[in-house]
Structure 1
Amino acid sequence: MNICGCLIHVAQAQLPAARARMENTDGVEIHAATDDGRLVVVVEDTDEARASEIIMGLHQIPGVISLSLNYHHFEDLSQAALAAAPALQPEI
């Protein structure tokens, strides 16, 4: 699991189109927005792309002024699942 919390600033004139494009991007969720174009966005890995690749794509959306990574969490779920369920661990 790879989760990135980002703050994105979008030019007001291009906000509706930029927001729609972000909302239609797999792995992207908009959690808060202001009228002046600031968005709180969470980006997660998908089967097709890593969160870092998705973030680089968000930078290219017309109207995006800035994007800052404010939070990052990575957890190897396959290892966490094995630790949580010892019965699932392979016998040696």
Structure 2
Amino acid sequence: MNICGCLIHISQDKLYAARAQMEVTDGVEVHAATDQGRLVVVVEDTPDKRASDIIMDLHQIPGVISLSLNYHHFEDLAVPSARELVAQPEI
């Protein structure tokens, strides 16, 4: 599981088109936006693409001025967590 929280600044004249393009992109969810072109976006891995590649694609949307990664969480779901290991019965 790979989750990235991003702040994106979009020029006001392209805001609606850029946001619409982001909202139909797999792995992207717009959580908040201002009328001045600032968006709070979460990007996650999809079965076909890594979050880092999706972020690079977002940079290419017309009107995107800047994109900054403000939060990142990675967890390998195939590896048991410490909590799961402690909860396992002894053999």
Q: Could you tell me the TM-score, scaled by structure 2's length?
A: 0.89
1:74 correspondence with 2:74: yes
Specify the alignment match of 1:90 in structure 2: none
Specify the alignment match of 2:29 in structure 1: 29
After superposition, residues 3-22 of structure 1 pair within 5 angstroms as 3-22=3-22
Q: Could you tell me the TM-score, scaled by structure 1's length?
A: 0.88
Deviation at 1:86, TM superposition (A): 4.2
Deviating 4+ runs (over 4 angstroms)? none
Q: Which amino acid aligns with 1:44?
A: E
**CA–CA distance in structure 2, aligned partners of residues 86 and 31 of structure 1:** 37
Q: Please state whether the residue corresponding to 2:4 is helix, strand or coil.
A: strand
Q: Please state whether the residue corresponding to 2:39 is helix, strand or coil.
A: strand
Which runs of no fewer than 5 residues in structure 2 stay unpaired? none
Structure number having the greater helix percentage: 1
Number of aligned residue pairs: 88
Q: Please state whether the residue corresponding to 2:78 is helix, strand or coil.
A: helix
Q: Which amino acid aligns with 1:74?
A: F
Which runs of no fewer than 5 residues in structure 1 stay unpaired? 88-92
After superposition, residues 53-72 of structure 1 pair within 5 angstroms as 53-72=53-72
Q: Which amino acid aligns with 1:53?
A: D
Q: Deviations over 1:19-77 (max 9, x none)?
A: 00000000000001001000000000000100000000000000000000000000001
Query: What percent of counterpart residues are identical?
Result: 74
